[in-house]
Homo-oligomer: A and B are copies of this chain.
Amino acid sequence: HDYSQRRFFWSRISMPQRLSLGFLTVITVGALLLMLPISYVGGRDHTFMDALFTATSAASVTGLTVVDTATHWTTFGQTIIMILIEIGALGFMSFSVLLFTATRRQMDLRSKMMVQEVYNLQSLYDTRAVFGYVIKLSIAIQFIGTILLAPFFIHDFGWGRGAFYAIFHAISAFGNSGFSILPKNTAEYVNQPFVLAIIAALVIAGSLGFLVWRDVLLYQKTHRLTLHSKLALVMTGALIIGGWLLFELTERNLAFASGLSPVMRVFDTLFMSISYRTAGFTQFDVGGLGSATILLTMMLMYIGGTPGSTAGGIKTTTLGVLILQTHAALRGKKDVTFAHRRLTQENIMRALLLVCVSLVFLGILSFMLMLTQSHAANHGLEYVIFEVVSAFATAGLTLGLTPHLTTFGQLVIMLAMFIGRVGIYTVMFSILNVHDEAAPYRYPEESVIIG
């Protein structure tokens, strides 16, 4: 009876609305907790917008900040931020999976698109098993990360702070959040390959997504990978290596690498390639890098990680499908194939549409900020566009605009982070709340000329 009442309540609210509302609730509770006097360092100028922005950035694992995470917040406040990151990385998706099992009704097309956006649910029957698996695997990886990071941080900051730093950065790195409570982000470890390597490994682990992990770990038993995992792994590898080589090229003049040995420089460029695309940890001031580097970084952030992971962006698989479709069209092939499988038309259409819609969205948000934010004369358009792309892709790098945003500007960036994490379709479906329509009749076909 209690159960059926709950079911009735949930059935009144659509799946996309549940997800958006649940996420909003997490952010609001987080912001209220960050308003507590024990959360921030006394004597500071502290507004509710600061707390709300930080909670949104943490729960969406973006990493853009209007106040300095290391000095503005107390250990209690930093713990709240850490928990918001963990909820954003794992809880939010699992929550939606659980909600789905509770209702168990047939999914319509809309819900299918939306659930695909947050989680792989090819077989919906083992949802609870998947949920348990996600939590266990994530905590295991984060635990290993903490143990590996601890010696370095304890050496530098003592037992108490060192241990806390290790936990915080393991969670932050696996969650691809980019939040750091080190005084200078990861800049002080620019010459410490081990710390950078551990963080990079955690970032990759988080950005691959649970389905890929499950596939890889079960490979011994199943001897097969899904098409999704194959494409995601190939694209992730190509993006890391391609980004690495291109960063080597764009920063070949060594302007950023003064004081670095040649080996460490190559290692730092690799770290940039891994971290900039999804996590947003940086050893350098991004604004000091060359214009080609900034353009490349924007492109990598826009692409982002793999679906069902802690990373944002349009996703590696979307880019993969786009490349495969282009290749097929240029070769005069009707079938778009990869690894002896044919991609569905619906799949391809969805990928292409996502690119187009997200770009229109980014264009509109950038336009709104350019109209309203005071614009230093020595900054180009990228000063605004970079920040919007970074927020939408939940990457979290900045050219410096975010701390100077007006309240309206903060709301725009928060909207970008929110939509970037929840998914552009999910948010739109939440607002529109429409259902699949069976058309009473179909119009005759006709083409227009394209391009």
Which residues of B are found within 8 Å of A381, using beta-carbon distances? 291, 294-295, 380-382
Which residues of B are found within 8 Å of A353, using beta-carbon distances? 325-326, 329, 352
Interface centre among A330, A434, A435 (most CB of B within 10 A): A330
Q: Are A448 and B317 in contact (CB under 8 A)?
A: yes
With A326-B356, A330-B428 as contacts: A335 and B295 at CB distance below 8 Å: no
Q: Does residue A131 face the partner (Cβ distance < 8 Å to B)?
A: no
Q: Does residue A100 face the partner (Cβ distance < 8 Å to B)?
A: no
Task: Kindly identify which residue among B318, B341, B444 contacts A444, using a CB–CB cutoff of 8 Å.
Answer: B341
Question: Could you list which residues of chain A lie within 8 angstroms of chain B, going by C-beta atoms?
Answer: 108-110, 116-117, 120, 211, 226-228, 231-232, 249-250, 290-292, 294-296, 299, 307-308, 314-315, 317-318, 320-322, 325-326, 329-335, 337, 340-357, 359, 363, 366-367, 370-371, 375, 378-385, 423-425, 428-429, 432, 434-437, 439, 442-451
Apart from A109-B332, A291-B384, A330-B429, what are 5 other A-B pairs with CB-CB below 8 Å?
Answer: A211-B449, A321-B450, A335-B442, A349-B349, A356-B356
Closest CB in chain B relative to A118 CB, distance in Å: 10
Which residues of B are found within 8 Å of A382, using beta-carbon distances? 380-382
Q: Are B446 and A333 in contact (CB under 8 A)?
A: no
Which residues of B are found within 8 Å of A116, using beta-carbon distances? 449-451
A326 CA / B113 CA spacing, docked (Å): 14
With A326-B356, A353-B352, A383-B380 as contacts: A448 and B370 at CB distance below 8 Å: no
Q: Are A299 and B448 in contact (CB under 8 A)?
A: no
With A356-B326, A356-B355, A381-B382 as contacts: A332 and B449 at CB distance below 8 Å: no
Using CB atoms, name the residue of chain B closest to A316.
Answer: B448
A371 CA / B429 CA spacing, docked (Å): 42
Closest CB in chain B relative to A317 CB, distance in Å: 4
Closest CB in chain B relative to A349 CB, distance in Å: 7
Which residues of B are found within 8 Å of A355, using beta-carbon distances? 352, 355-356, 359
Task: Kindly identify which residue among B341, B370, B436 contacts A446, using a CB–CB cutoff of 8 Å.
Answer: B341
With A351-B450, A424-B451, A448-B343 as contacts: A292 and B367 at CB distance below 8 Å: yes
Listed A/B pairs (16) with beta-carbon separation below 8 Å: A108-B332, A117-B451, A227-B447, A232-B448, A249-B371, A295-B385, A317-B450, A321-B450, A325-B353, A330-B434, A344-B446, A347-B448, A351-B451, A354-B450, A378-B378, A381-B381
Using CB atoms, name the residue of chain B closest to A331.
Answer: B434
Closest CB in chain B relative to A307 CB, distance in Å: 4
A342 CA / B444 CA spacing, docked (Å): 6
